[in-house]
Amino acid sequence: MSNTEKKKLDRKTAKSVFLRLCTYVLKYWYLFIPAVLLTLFSNQLSLLGPKYSGEAIDALALSTGVDFKAVWENVIKMLFCYLLSAVMSYLLATLMIFLSQRIVYTMRRQLFEKLTTLPVGYFDKTPTGDIISRISYDIDTVNSSLSHDLVQIMTSLYTVIGSLVFMWNISKPLICVFIITVPAAILFTRYRSKIVRPLFSKRSKKLGELNGYAEEMLSGCRTIQAYEREEEIGRRFNERNRDAMDAYYDADYHGCIIGPGMNFINNLSLSLVMILGGMLYLFSQNGTVKAGSIFFITLGGVAQFVQYSRKFAGPINEFANILSELQSAFSAAERVFRIIDEEPETADKANAHVISDVEGNVEFRDVTFGYDPEKVILKGVSFKADTGKTIAIVGPTGAGKTTVINLLMRFYDVNDGETLVDGIEARDITRESLRRAYTMVLQDTWLFRGTIFENIAYGREGATLDEVKSAARAARIDSFIEGLPDGYDTVLTDDGINISKGQRQLITIARAMVSDSKMLILDEATSNVDSRTEIKIQKAMATLMKGRTCFVIAHRLSTIKNADKILVVRDGRITEEGTHDELLCKGGFYATLYNSQFS
Ligand SMILES: Nc1ncnc2c1ncn2[C@@H]1O[C@H](COP(=O)(O)OP(=O)(O)OP(=O)(O)O)[C@@H](O)[C@H]1O
Ligand SMILES: [Mg+2]
């Protein structure tokens, strides 16, 4: 893609993002319209201020003597304008905060609602940190831009045009000064911001890298200490720290020239206005310029003009700033919209079955699947699991065992072939009822912030304390829980960090025991508990598994010896199938694996 094409595309996305943001704003029209009106009135009032102050000066400098009444009248009018304008600005700011918070709330809600409908594959592909930074940081950027920049733009436009009109009425020749200074200011800021903008994005990138590195290292602090790599880590961190510092220096160094440069141009323009205005005033005083000529000006006129020229210059100085803030707000909004526009999990078929009284017959027929269609993981896999039977899946790491589970639960859909539950093709069953038919206990346990009771009762809506207690007993975790000061009311911190890995796993097993689904999936479920507990749990599991179809994945073969059927998965195919004894007799991969563990 050529550079110009890219720019055009960017403009197009910027435009669509802008229009889309407008729809959010317009949804709250009852807040936005008052905001626009308040902006107009408060700016109009603040534009009137200089007019009255100028008129007060002229009333003072009257050649026929001082008109005190007019002076006071104008001073009071001026004060009134400024005061009312300030009150209105205050109201406006509060209104905009309210408005932008409403929009942020809506956006966050939409974003999160979308996240709950996305397929598991999306989360496998997208780093969690990235999603979180969109929910918090990007939406925050949009928020500050909405509450600040929007008002700023309206105000700037009104002020620039308004002051120009007032200045035009006071003295046309003086406006000529701006013919030089305004283009100079615009060219200067544009030229500088062209240099500075890439430096600022480099700065954010370097900061992101630094953050990412720190996060990775903090989460691995145990391993780092165990391998005594603290020094190396420190050195690497410092390299990134230095990079970030350099990038900050570059951006801020080049950025800080803009301020003084603009000050210089402003001072120049103000001086020119004063000198030229002073001269015109003198000429008007000594009669060289007659009243009614476009060159005629009073002292109050000069004072007014100077004030308007300052008002006029403000927004023009801010122009580049607002532009870059808007750009970052647009790119943040775009990142948010990209998730909101993400394809949700495909809808269930219109005539999809809702399965309720599941018997638990599961079948794979010639299933072919790859996460990436190019790279096939399972090739023509077929097997049958009858009601109440236990199917064990064994095989080397990366063979595709967890992938089989992903297909059972329809976290992914097969590329070819069929998966059936009670003879019904899984894609003809609603996902909700299909998933309800299964209970899963996974390799990585997931506990949420809440009491132990809540975490176990999560297995089935409406589970009672008695049911939770007997599940805990079956999972051999009851005495540990009862030994805690708060028992079942103990609050687990995020992800259950305050209890051991094995205890976490037992709680998830108890959770599975509470559920009443007909099919059970245990993916390395007992990998974190000691052998003695494992044997105990197996006994409990036997009760749990009775009458349910179970899929068990375990590296420890002792766990699966009693399975009704063992499937050996290697390189995406089922290479061996049968009971423990049959497979031992066969003397294949399973036999080798078993013997290497037990002889
Ligand atoms: N979300 C994913 N996207 C792309 N490829 C994946 C994904 N998950 C797994 N894979 C790939 O699919 C293959 C099978 O992975 P799977 O998790 O099924 O292995 P496994 O048999 O469960 O291994 P383990 O015993 O280590 O748990 C691996 O080569 C892996 O790289
Ligand atoms: Mg696995």
Kindly report, residue by residue over 256-301, the tens digit of the pLDDT.
888 888 889 889 999 999 999 999 999 998 888 888 888 899 999 9
397 lines ligand 1 (CB under 6 A): yes
Q: Which amino acid is present at 130?
A: D
Strands 519-523 and 573-578: unpaired
Distance 403 CA to ligand 1 centre (A): 6
Helices (H), 28-67: 29-60
Question: Is 50 exceeded by the pLDDT of residue 359?
Answer: yes
Distance 398 CA to ligand 2 centre (A): 7
CB 209 within 8 A of CB 239: no
The confidence score (pLDDT) of residue 4 equals 47
The confidence score (pLDDT) of residue 189 equals 82
Top-confidence residue, 66 or 570: 570
The confidence score (pLDDT) of residue 457 equals 93
59: left (phi over 0), alpha (psi -120 to 50) or beta: alpha
Top-confidence residue, 247 or 203: 247
How far apart are alpha carbons 313 and 181 in whole angstroms?
10
The mean per-residue pLDDT over the stretch 181-194 comes to 85
Confidence of residue 5 (pLDDT cuts 50, 70, 90): very low
**Coil vs helix vs strand at 382:** strand
Q: Which of 13, 4, 6 is nearest to 333 (CA)?
A: 13
Distance 402 CA to ligand 1 centre (A): 6
3-state helix, strand, coil in the chain (%, to 5): 65, 10, 25
The mean per-residue pLDDT over the stretch 396-422 comes to 91
Average pLDDT, the chain: 87
Ligand number nearest CA of 555 is 1
Q: Which of 336, 338, 330 is nearest to 149 (CA)?
A: 330
CB 567 within 8 A of CB 392: yes
The b/e string for 342-371 (b: 16+ C-beta within 10 A; e otherwise) is eeebeebeeebbebeebbbbbbbeebbbbe
73, burial (CB in 10 Å: exposed 0-12, middle 13-18, buried 19+): middle
The secondary element (H helix, E strand) that includes residue 537 is helix 531-545
Question: Is 60 exceeded by the pLDDT of residue 1?
Answer: no
Q: What radius of gyration do the chain's Cα atoms show?
A: 36
Report the nearest atom of ligand 1 relative to the CA of 524. 27
Under DSSP, the state recorded for 149 is I
Confidence of residue 540 (pLDDT cuts 50, 70, 90): low
Question: Is 70 exceeded by the pLDDT of residue 462?
Answer: yes
Q: Which residues contact 201 (CB under 8 A, 6 or more apart)?
A: none
The confidence score (pLDDT) of residue 325 equals 80
The confidence score (pLDDT) of residue 599 equals 63
64, burial (CB in 10 Å: exposed 0-12, middle 13-18, buried 19+): exposed
Residues with Cβ–ion distance below 5 A, ligand 2: 402
Question: Is 60 exceeded by the pLDDT of residue 412?
Answer: yes
- Which of 200-204, 302-306, 531-535 has the largest mean confidence? 302-306
Residue of the CA atom closest to atom 29 of ligand 1: 398
How far apart are alpha carbons 402 and 479 in whole angstroms?
32
Provide the token pair at 418. Answer: 């069929």
Residue of the CA atom closest to atom 1 of ligand 1: 124
Question: Is 80 exceeded by the pLDDT of residue 10?
Answer: no
How far apart are alpha carbons 82 and 45 in whole angstroms?
7
Q: Which domains does the chain have, with CATH numbers?
A: 16-170 (1.20.1560.10), 172-296 (1.20.1560.10), 362-598 (3.40.50.300)
Confidence of residue 508 (pLDDT cuts 50, 70, 90): confident
Confidence of residue 506 (pLDDT cuts 50, 70, 90): confident
**DSSP readout, 472-526?**
HHHTT-HHHHHHSTTGGGPEE-GGGTTS-HHHHHHHHHHHHHH---SEEEEESTT
Helices (H), 28-149: 29-60, 68-117, 120-125, 128-133, 139-144
400 lines ligand 1 (CB under 6 A): yes
The mean per-residue pLDDT over the stretch 153-166 comes to 91
Residue 116 has φ and ψ, to the nearest 5°, of -75, -15
Which of 27-36, 193-202, 511-520, 532-541 comes out lowest in average pLDDT?
532-541
The mean per-residue pLDDT over the stretch 330-349 comes to 88
Report the nearest atom of ligand 1 relative to the CA of 404. 18
Residue of the CA atom closest to atom 4 of ligand 1: 371
Strand partners, 364: 383, 419
The confidence score (pLDDT) of residue 337 equals 92
Ligand number nearest CA of 403 is 1
Top-confidence residue, 7 or 385: 385
Residue of the CA atom closest to atom 7 of ligand 1: 371
Top-confidence residue, 35 or 496: 35
Helices and strands of the chain, counted as H and E runs? 21, 12
